[in-house]
Amino acid sequence: MSFSTNQIVSVYNHHVLPKLTFQNKAMAITAAITMSMTYFILKTLRPPKHLRHIPHISPLSLIRSLFIGEPYWNRAYRVYLPIIDHPQNHNGLYLEYGRAGWEIFICNPQIAKEMLLKQGTDNYTDTLFDKFIGGPNIGLLDGEAWRTQRKMANPAFHRAMPVRLFGELAVDMFQVMETMGDTINVSNMMEGWTLQVIGKAGFGFDFNAIKDPNSPWVRTYNICNKGIRNTFFFVFPAFDKKYLWMFPKRVYIHQEMDRFRHMLQDVIDHKRLSLEDKNYQNDALEENERDLLTLLIESEIRGEGVMTDQELMSNLRFFFVAGHDTTSSTLSFAIHYLAKHPEIQQKAREEAIRILGDEPVDILPVIGETKQMTYISQIMLETLRINGPLPSLVPRCASKDVELFGTFIPKGTPINVNLFSIHHSEKLWKDSHVFNPDRFENEESKTLMMAFGYGGRQCIGMNFSLVEQRVMLSMLLRKFTWSTPENSIHKDGVLTYGYLTLSPQDLDITFKKRY
C-alpha cells in the first residue's frame, strides 16, 4: 500500500503531533523542516538536462543568502552581475531556482521586451502571496481575458488622477511629522501615507493610516504585508502550502490574510450598494478625484463592461500591491538618495520652488504643475533604476518552444526578467552603482528603463504612481531639508529586505523645517 504526501501529513497532524509534548513537538517540527530542506536541496541541486546549456546558479547560493539575510544589492553584485557582464555571456541569460522551479532569468532588455510581449503568465495558488495578489486580474491574466479587463480598467485609470487628494494627505502627514521629533523612520511614514492614499484613491475608504498607525485595518494589513515579504516562504512555496502546519505563526498570518480579504469584500459590497440607484450621480468630487472602485462600478452602470466580484476583488488586491508597496519603497529610496546627495536635493528643491513658489505655507500642486517637474521626474527614474522596489517580475511560462538570441527555450519553461541586473549592467549604464539623475536627460536611457514593464503589459498604474510621487516629493522639498543621521545603518549604502519587493530597512532620516 502506498500513501501520498498529503495522507502522511494528515496522519502526522491528527494522530502523532497531538500526543507529543511541547518540547517534542518543537524537535519533531525542526526535524521535519530539516528533512524537507535536505530533500529539496538534493532534488534541485542541478537543473534538468534540457536546460543545462544555460549558465546556472546553485540553489545552495540562494539558500546561503536567505539564511545570512544578504541584501539583494550585495547578492546581485556578488552573483548575478559577474555572470551578466562577463564578455562571453552575450545574451544575458542565466538559470536560478525560484518559486516556479528552475527559472530562466533575462538580463538583456531586448530579449526581455520580446518575452513580455509574447509569452504567457504562470500562476500559483494557496500561498500567502497568491491569496493577496493571485486570481483573475490584469497582472496575471493573459490572452482575451486580459485584454477584456485591461480595456475596462484603462478608462478608470485615465479618469482617476486625484492630485488634490495626494496633496491633502501630504499635509496630514506633515502635521504628524511635527509631533515626532527631528529624526523619523521614513520607511514607516511612507508606508502609512501610501496606504492612506491607496485606501482613499482606490476604494474611497479611510484607513486612518497616517494619524492612527495602530488601527485594526492598518494592523491587519501590516501583518499580511510582512508575511508576503518573507523571503523563505516566497522562494520555497511548498512550505506555505503542504507543510504550512509546521509553522503555527505562519498559519496565523494566513488567517489574518483571510480576514483582510473579507474586509475588502465588505468595502466592495458597501460601494455597490451605495451606487445601486439608477439615478445615482457622484457630484461630491470631480471625476479625476473619484476612487478607482467607484469609477469601475460606474463604468458597469454605463454599460462599458462588467467585472465579476471575484475579478473586481482580485484586481483591487493587485492594485493594492502595485499602488502601495512599490510606491512606498520608491519614495523611501528617493528620500534616502536625496539625503546622501544634498546638492541633488537642493537642485530638486529649486525646481519645486520655481513651480510652486516659496511662500511659507503648504502648496498643493495641480496636475499641470506636476508635468513641469522635469528634474524631480529624473530623480524618480534614477531611483527606480538604482534601487527599484521590484528586482524581478512575475514568472511567465514559454507558451511554445522558442529561441532567444541563439538559446533554445523549451515550451513550459518559467521565464523571468531580472530588472535589477538590467538596470545595473555596465554593458548598459556607465557607473551603474552611482546615483545620477542627469543620465535621464538622455531619451535613450529612458528606453532601457523597465521598472514598469513594457508594451501592452506595462503597469496600468504607472502615471498614477509617478504623479503621486511628484506631489509628495515637491511638497516635502518645499517644507523640509533632510540628511542621513551619523549613526544610520544606511550611512555606507542602503540596506534592503525582501525578495519579491525591496524596501529599505528602518530608514531613519533627520528633517529640518524650512517654514
- Minimal CA–CA distance to 156: which of 304, 378, 349, 333? 304
Contact 347, 488 (CB under 8 A): no
Strand partners of residue 496:
504
Q: How many helices (H) and strands (E) are present in the chain, helices listed first?
A: 22, 11
Phi, psi for 409 (deg, rounded to 5): -120, 115
Cell of 282: 457622484
Cell of 84: 551578466
CA distance 438 to 431: 12
CA distances from 120 to 54, 186, 368, 396, 414 (A): 21, 38, 38, 6, 10
CA distance 186 to 192: 10
Length reported for the chain = 515
397 marked as binding residue = no
Contact 250, 233 (CB under 8 A): yes
Provide the phi-psi class of 417: left if phi over 0, else alpha when psi is between -120 and 50, else beta.
beta
CA contacts within 13 A on the Cβ side of 106? 25
Q: Please give the helix or strand (H or E) that residue 106 lies within, else none.
A: strand 101-106
Q: Which DSSP letter does residue 325 get?
A: I
- Minimal CA–CA distance to 152: which of 136, 163, 138, 133? 138
| DSSP letters for 15-65 | IIGGGS-HHHHHHHHHHHHHHHHHHHHHHHSS--GGGTTS-B--HHHHHHH
Instruction: Give ∠ CA 323-329-330 in degrees, rounded to 5.
Output: 85
Local structure of 392: helix, strand or coil: strand
Burial class for 166, CB neighbours closer than 10 Å (0-12, 13-18, 19+): buried
- As a whole number of Å, the end-to-end CA separation of the chain is 78
Contact 304, 168 (CB under 8 A): no
Contact 358, 351 (CB under 8 A): no
Cell of 54: 544555460
| DSSP letters for 142-154 | -HHHHHHHHHHHH
Enumerate the known binding-site residues: 459
Enumerate the known binding-site residues for heme: 459
